[in-house]
Amino acid sequence: MAFSHQTLHQSTSASSGSSSNEDSATLKNLTSSRSVSDKELAQAQPKNLNLSKEASSSNDFSDQPEDDLEKVGGLAKRKTMEVIKCPHKNQKHYAKGMCNHCYHKYGRNSYADACPHSDRLVYAKGKCQNCYLNDYNKQKRRMKKDKASSSPISEDKSQTSNKRLKLSPEIESSQ
């Protein structure tokens, strides 16, 4: 019973402020007296207190951490930081108080050390943008070349299956 009194008191402090001071004072008096039954509390709560959806949810009555309770449909709602260091306030926070675009343009402050261009900012994997994209495109070309070299063999097999099969001379003479 004490547990329900505490949670009710917590929910009154978390209310949206739409109830008047008299209603909240009446409810506090009810919760502070130990002789009040749960039935009276249940009747007093809807009349005297307009709770927001968050305050009246089942989150107030469990002992689990908030992170576990915020899971909806298997996905956790994450508290994200605000975008404060760039003018794009309506965009999603990416890193260092900036949106994705501004972070990649202004937010990187380390220099490339995995390529000879140590005066340029890092793009990815310790390389500048030019070197990284050059290596990336080389790998893609190499992969395409490997696929192309392995695919003619399979094409030859498919072409022979499409052609009319030639019979051996022994079989042809018997027909």
Structure tokens at 76: 């956790």
Q: Is residue 135 part of a domain?
A: no
Domain that holds residue 17: 2-66
Q: Is residue 146 part of a domain?
A: no
pLDDT exceeds 80 at position 145: yes
Query: Mean pLDDT over residues 78-104, rounded?
Result: 78
Give per-residue burial for 95-104: e unless 16+ CB within 10 Å, then b.
eeebbeebbe
The domain total for the chain is 1
Q: Is residue 50 part of a domain?
A: yes
Q: Is residue 13 part of a domain?
A: yes
Q: Place 74 in a pLDDT band, splitting at 50, 70 and 90.
A: very low
Query: Mean pLDDT over residues 123-128, rounded?
Result: 88
pLDDT exceeds 90 at position 132: yes
Q: Is residue 99 part of a domain?
A: no
Q: What pLDDT, in 10s, does the model give residues 24-46? A: 555 455 445 444 455 554 554 44
The answer to whether 102 and 90 have CB atoms below 8 angstroms apart is no
Q: Is residue 105 part of a domain?
A: no
- Cα torsion 88, 92, 97, 103: sign: negative
Q: Is residue 167 part of a domain?
A: no
Question: Phi and psi at residue 111, in whole multiples of 5°?
Answer: -100, 155
CA atoms within 13 Å, Cβ hemisphere of 89: 1
Three-state DSSP at 95 gives: strand
Residues 6+ apart with CB under 8 A from 76: 67, 70
pLDDT top residue among 115 and 62: 115
pTM over 0.75: no
pLDDT exceeds 90 at position 131: yes
Query: Mean pLDDT over residues 162-170, rounded?
Result: 57
Q: What pLDDT, in 10s, does the model give residues 93-115? A: 887 788 887 887 777 788 889 99
Query: Mean pLDDT over residues 130-142, rounded?
Result: 96
> In Å, what is the CA distance from 5 to each residue of 9, 15, 28, 53, 117?
6, 15, 10, 19, 66
Q: Is residue 166 part of a domain?
A: no
